[in-house]
Amino acid sequence: MTKSQDSVFSEILGTIKSCLPLESEEFNLHEPLFCGREWEYVKECLDTGWVSSVGKYVDKFERMLEDYTGSRKAIAVVNGTAAMHVCLKLAGVEVGDEVMMPALTFIATANAVSYCGAVPHFIDSDFATMGLSPNKLDDRLREIARIESNQCVNRITGRRIKAVVPVHTFGHPVEIDSLIDICKKYSLTLIEDAAESLGSFYKNKHTGTFGLFGVLSFNGNKIVTTGGGGAILTNDEDLGKLAKHITTTAKLPHRWAFVHDRVAFNYRMPNINAAIGCAQIEQLPVFLGNKRNLAEKYKKAFDRNKYALFASEPSETRSNYWLNTIKLLEPYAKMRDHLLDFLHDHGVKARPPWQLMNMLQMYRDCPRDDLTNSELICASCVNIPSGAELAKNSQIAGE
């Protein structure tokens, strides 16, 4: 016999709340935290007037990102979507190409492909990572792809398949080694959507540094924020220089003349945003420590909960636990939306994952493989409060 819905929901609520600070009544999914030198750095921008295209913080922020991630080059831009747009362009994605990506992602990944006039091709995810499934991708390519003079072509649509864009979902690293092998086998370019995974490592190497490019986001809900912002990571010096050039209107250096050598983008990050970013990166280790504490508490607590599983970091990875995730077990998954209402009624602002891309009207006619796992993850998972501030004054602080 299954338990009454309300007693199941109460137990899940109790498990979540046992990990959260006692003194609060409302818990948002992920809040930004400004407890470092943000004010000081922003004040300096305002006092000196360097708020926009010139100033020291953009350079400083880029060097800090390079140091932290180990990427040879980091280029700060206006947001993660713009970063992805430029990476796809520089990877040679052209009008009419196809780009393989998970159906389970934020819309930015698919939109950036559309900006290039290319077509997203949706592939299923694995349960362990919630990210792109190497096996499913390999099977799909074996079924539809043909190599023609070193290019991968979709035999069914006739379009060239140019790139693979995995996402490190909710901060958990995807199985990148296998994806690298598949990309080699089919002459595909790997671009990592690491928008959610600053501070996440796969076999001790930072996510976003495996592919030709990696993309970071510093939106307000991400682990580190600049208000809005993003970055391009690459280990290729020349591509890094080119990325900087075409995100800054392709202006040639000159004391007073406006000389631009190609059609380019105004995607550069303003100095004032980079100032916030510098202060945020200084606190990243603390954020990560607090988030890991919170995740460990959730994991312990959900080990004793019969209705839901906590999603732990995949093996051989270190996750930033950007968004903590629980997966409702059968037969409780079908109550997911009622559970979300119940949690909101009780101050826990939990959220479902995104709608799968193929469910959105702009993308429903795009090519796609079987998406069984993605559909299950999407229907049974709930993201629970995950901000770094939640572990600060909680029980674990005294442990």
Ligand X SMILES: *Cc1c(COP(=O)(O)O)cnc(C)c1O
Decide if residue 120 touches ligand X (CB under 6 A).
no
- Chosen residue from 15, 69, 71, 109 binding ligand X by CB under 6 A: 109
Write down the least CB distance from residue 196 to ligand X, Å.
5
Q: How far is the CB of 173 from ligand X (least distance, A)?
A: 13
Confirm or reject binding of residue 105 to ligand X (CB under 6 A). yes
| Shortest reach from residue 29's CB to ligand X, in Å | 13
By CB under 6 A, residue 332 contacts ligand X: no
Binding flag, residue 230, ligand X (CB under 6 A): yes
Give min distance, CB of 317 to ligand X, in A: 17
Structure tokens at 77: 């831009």
Of 41, 106, 310, 321, the one binding ligand X by CB under 6 A: 106
Smallest separation (angstroms) from ligand X to the CB of 193: 5
Is 313 within 8 Å of 296 (Cβ atoms)? no
Which of these segments, 79-87, 158-166, 337-345, 376-384, binds ligand X (CB under 6 A)?
79-87
As a three-state string, the secondary structure of 145-162 is EEEECCEEEECCCCCEEE
Residue 115 CB, shortest distance to ligand X, in Å, is 12
Q: Which one of residues 71, 129, 219, 383 is an interface residue with ligand X (CB under 6 A)?
A: 219
> Which residues are CB-neighbours of 281 under 8 A, at least 6 positions away?
61, 64, 65, 68, 224
Q: Which of residues 156-195 bind ligand X (CB under 6 A)?
A: 167, 193, 195
Measure the CA–CA gap between 258 and 365, rounded to whole angstroms. 44
Name the residue among 272, 229, 225 with its Cα closest to residue 42.
Answer: 272
For ligand X, give the closer residue by CB, 79 or 271: 79
Query: How many residues are there in the chain?
Result: 399
Q: How many CB atoms lie within 10 A of CB 23?
A: 7
Considering beta carbons, is residue 55 or 171 the nearer one to ligand X?
Answer: 171
Taking alpha carbons only, the member of 248, 193, 246, 244 closest to residue 222 is: 193
Q: CB 326 → ligand X: shortest distance, Å? A: 19
Angle of helix 80-90 relative to helix 237-246, nearest 10 degrees, comes to 120
- Closest-by-Cβ residue to ligand X is 80
For position 273 contacting ligand X by CB under 6 A, the verdict is no
Q: Work out which of 27, 73, 77, 80 binds ligand X, going by CB under 6 A.
A: 80
Strand order in the sheet with 201-202: 205-206, 201-202, 317-318
Q: How far is the CB of 42 from ligand X (least distance, A)?
A: 20
Nearer to ligand X, 81 or 271 (CB): 81
Q: Which is nearer to ligand X, 189 or 197 (by Cβ)?
A: 197
Interface with ligand X: number of residues (CB under 6 A): 14
Q: Are 203 and 316 in contact (CB under 8 A)?
A: yes
Computed from CA positions of residues 154, 157, 162, 168, in that sequence, does the dihedral angle turn out positive or negative?
negative
Dist. CA 32–CA 74, nearest whole Å: 23
Question: Running DSSP on this structure, what letter comes out for residue 351?
Answer: B
Positions touching ligand X (CB under 6 A) are: 79-81, 105-106, 108-109, 167, 193, 195-196, 217, 219, 230
